[in-house]
Structure 1
Amino acid sequence: MDQGNTAFILIAAALVLLMTPGLAFFYGGLVKAKSVISMMMMSFGALGLIGVLWVLYGYAIAFPGAEGTLFPWAIDGGAIGLTNVLETPEGASYPPLAFVAFQATFAIITVALVSGAIADRAKFGAWMVFAGVWATLVYFPVASWVFNFGLADDGSFAYGGWITHGLQDVFGVGAIDFAGGTAVHINAGAAALALALVLGRRVGFQKGVHVPHNPPFVLLGAGLLWFGWFGFNAGSELAADDVAALAFVNTIAAPAAALLAWLLVEKIKDGKPTSIGAASGAVAGLVAITPACGSLDPVWAIVLGFIAGAVCCLAIDLKFKLGFDDSLDVVGIHLVGGLIGTLYLGFFARGTGLFMGGDFSQLIVQAIAAFAVLIYSFVLAFIIGWVIQKTMGFRVKNEDELAGIDTVVHGEEGYVLSDGR
């Protein structure tokens, strides 16, 4: 067993887990002061629920081995409760449980991302039901499509899901998704769009009405997300080698360029660059580089960052033009950014991209992967959300929304500045 690689994976897992509290700060600062507890609790609720479900059966669905490569999903009965991954096979470079832990953090953050689309108006209990059902029917299977590695006889991880391995059998190249552009960002963004449509618009929804109550929280959250993203991207190599180093550098370059591009577009469009724009631009660049971080030269990562920052800055206004209330721009940043990063590989992936010595095959498989995940996630999320809304109710009452849902849903206030408390 390689203790260096084992330590690398475990540290990367800890970094990715930190991203969920970071997301709570990022989202919490973006909502109004009377909803900050509700918003942050949806991230922490996802952390608790998905952490348990992953151990019980999530890993068994996401990583069923070679037999689980068929669409749409399968399950490894022996992996329920992690019973067949407790021992490290002879010759393995790291314990299977290290990989289990690393992938658990991906499941948690993906579910938490969806919550940003329903800020200020969702019941916590309904959100938890949605999170558990969506993770079971959507995230775990989609993770299998992309990441499904089973244990080979020598203890190494082999095989692959239909998006990576299966498409390669047909087109000669598989879709590239190094760290989750499809499984995490397109997946979460599509679900966010579905929930925004199911819950409807906030009271008084229009441009400029709902403003972030705490920009320092947003910047803190973005900083924690960026820090954790090094584990997200570089850790996905599962080894401390040159590809991990490339992913690490690209995780600096792309979001830095996206941050600058977002601020530039803001300055041109609105006259002022903002702190919220800087944080959002960095996240947009992180989203876009996620699938591509191990397959781009750093210069092309910078170009990707500039494109993602500029396009996502413009995309967040689509909700006002199209009339859907994606509260915290999960669609504009994660869905759009994930699509940009995934499709960009069809042109600039090292060795296989259209402009890098390849042909149209890479672009075709990237598009198939992106839109298969988008459609599957959107349809299932809409059905799940609609059923919850029609049964137990997903949205709070309008009067509770106007009053602020922290005290109604959780009996707490984010800021108590009087009465000596």
Structure 2
Amino acid sequence: MEQLTTNINSLWLMVAAALVLLMTPGVAFFYGGMVKAKSVISMMMMSFGAIALVAVLWVLYGYSMAFSTGSDWVIPGVVGNPFAHFGLINFLGAGSDGTLDPDLSSLAFAGFQATFAIITVALISGAIADRAKFGAWMIFAGVWVTFVYFPVAAWVFNLGEGNGWIQALGVNDFAGGTAVHINAGAAALALAIVLGRRVGFAKGMVRPHNVPLTLLGAALLWFGWFGFNAGSEAAVDGVAAIAWINTLAAPAAATLGWLVVEKLKDGKPTAIGAASGAVTGLVAITPACNILTPFWGMVLGVVAGAVCALAIDLKWKLGFDDSLDVVGVHFVGGWIGTLWIGLFGSGRGLLLGYGPESLGQQFIGAAAVTVFSFFSAALIGFVIQKTIGFRITSEDEVAGVDTAVHGEEGYYLTEQEELATRA
């Protein structure tokens, strides 16, 4: 019976991993629809490039850095030995006849966590849409995931002997509010500052070229997020079920919250607003999906949707060019969800009578990831910009990133349509 339970849990983890992997193409569609028509290939390629690069690095040494235990820690609680499970060879084993004898549960978990690393990198790309070189992006992605994400994953997700230091502190981050969303959001802010503003930076400068594409991306993200959150329990049990329900309820409420604010602020609720609201709710519920009742999950969704609908305008007031609102959605939403646990988390929320300790722990975890990710990303981005160059030329930006960087166009128009477009 115990082996059957292990097999069922491992099967669920592999299914959940496939769902989470689908989220990165979802990000590609979500971001791709919001950029200019001449940037859609560039935007989507940054997500697909992240899948290819990060998957390879994770199998080679990323898992080892994030999930080492005992004597395999290089710095206990901070980062593991990259060679401890190099190539995941330790989980393959060998039968008496020399054939492979893989460790089902360990490989399933390694595969699941790989998809988290992939999507975290892909999320950052939205902040530098319309102006980044693909090669420079790939170098940044490889360096950042190695020196930032892999250690942060060790801090937050490592439950093995010794524990990651954020885990040991008592922070509740069930599925990655700090490790994924705050981490990506802080890096996105840093890169947006390093690369500078797009040509003609002003409110309303770019309208989404394909709203249905963005809605498709949001739908794929929401679908995959059930694996993201419920899969983080790594078991088929009641905790996975409450995570699943919260992943339904919170983003639904966040969509309503965003649309109400958008209606009051701009006069019309938009499809882009609905998609952004849903993603905001998914972000906010991620760290808290295991510890909130559905009621408090929905309240969190409404608050996050409303606040983030306002937060996306900060870039115009503060002057940083976060092209697709990664900071306003993922960074701000991640912070709201992480702190919400300290206020309304079952058995620990301050406003439920359990004292301020949990809120302080949540704040420390979120702040540590923010500072580490922001300054690390700024340094990596700055070095790339000053050496090989991270940003394309202004001329190529105006002409279109797709043809300049990839030699392709997202949409081939007839000669008559092209002339009409230019006119």
In the superposition, the TM-score normalised over structure 2's length comes to 0.93
Matched, 1:78 2:79: no
Q: Counterpart amino acid of 1:364?
A: G
Distance 1:404 1:345 in 2: 44
Deviation at 1:330, TM superposition (A): 0.3
Q: Could you tell me which residue of structure 2 aligns to residue 3 of structure 1? A: 7
Distance 1:286 1:159 in 2: 30
Q: Could you tell me which residue of structure 2 aligns to residue 59 of structure 1? A: 63
Which stretch has the larger CA shift, 263-272 or 350-359? Answer: 350-359
Q: Secondary structure at the match of 2:412?
A: coil
| 1:126-184 C-alpha deviation (Å, 9 max, x unpaired) | 0000000000000000000001133xxxxxxx65311011x1xxxxxx00000000000
Q: Could you tell me which residue of structure 1 aligns to residue 19 of structure 2? A: 15
Deviation at 1:70, TM superposition (A): 3.1
Q: Give the share of equivalent positions with the same residue, in percent.
A: 67
Q: Could you tell me which residue of structure 1 aligns to residue 165 of structure 2? A: 162
The 5-angstrom pairing of residues 5-404 of structure 1 reads: 5-67=9-71, 68=73, 70=76, 72-75=78-81, 77-87=83-93, 95-150=105-160, 160-165=163-168, 167=169, 174-404=170-400
Q: Counterpart amino acid of 2:19?
A: L
Q: Counterpart amino acid of 1:144?
A: A
Q: Secondary structure at the match of 1:233?
A: helix
Distance 1:145 1:304 in 2: 25
Deviation at 1:71, TM superposition (A): 5.4
Q: Which runs of 5+ in 2 are unaligned?
A: 95-101, 417-423
Q: Secondary structure at the match of 1:415?
A: coil
Deviation at 1:64, TM superposition (A): 1.0
CA, structure 1 residues 269+368, in 2 after alignment: closer, same or farther (shift >3 Å)?
Answer: same
Q: Counterpart amino acid of 1:247?
A: A
| 1:287-325 C-alpha deviation (Å, 9 max, x unpaired) | 000000000000000000001000000000000000000
Distance 1:204 1:333 in 2: 23
Deviation at 1:6, TM superposition (A): 1.3
Distance 1:419 1:322 in 2: 42
In the superposition, the TM-score normalised over structure 1's length comes to 0.93
Q: Is the Cα–Cα contact under 8 Å of residues 77 and 154 in structure 2 kept in the other structure?
A: no
| 1:223-277 C-alpha deviation (Å, 9 max, x unpaired) | 0000000000000000010000000000001000000000000000000000000
Q: Counterpart amino acid of 2:190?
A: A
For the aligned residue pairs, the C-alpha RMSD in angstroms reads 1.7
Q: Is the Cα–Cα contact under 8 Å of residues 20 and 228 in structure 2 kept in the other structure?
A: yes
Distance 2:103 2:302 in 1: 38
Deviation at 1:186, TM superposition (A): 0.2
Tell me how many residue pairs correspond in the alignment.
Answer: 404
Q: Counterpart amino acid of 1:124?
A: F
Distance 2:173 2:54 in 1: 22
Q: Secondary structure at the match of 2:174?
A: coil
Deviation at 1:356, TM superposition (A): 2.6
Distance 1:70 1:349 in 2: 29
Q: Counterpart amino acid of 1:274?
A: T
Q: Secondary structure at the match of 1:13?
A: helix
Deviation at 1:66, TM superposition (A): 3.8
Q: Could you tell me which residue of structure 1 aligns to residue 419 of structure 2? A: none
Q: Secondary structure at the match of 2:79?
A: coil
Distance 2:149 2:361 in 1: 20
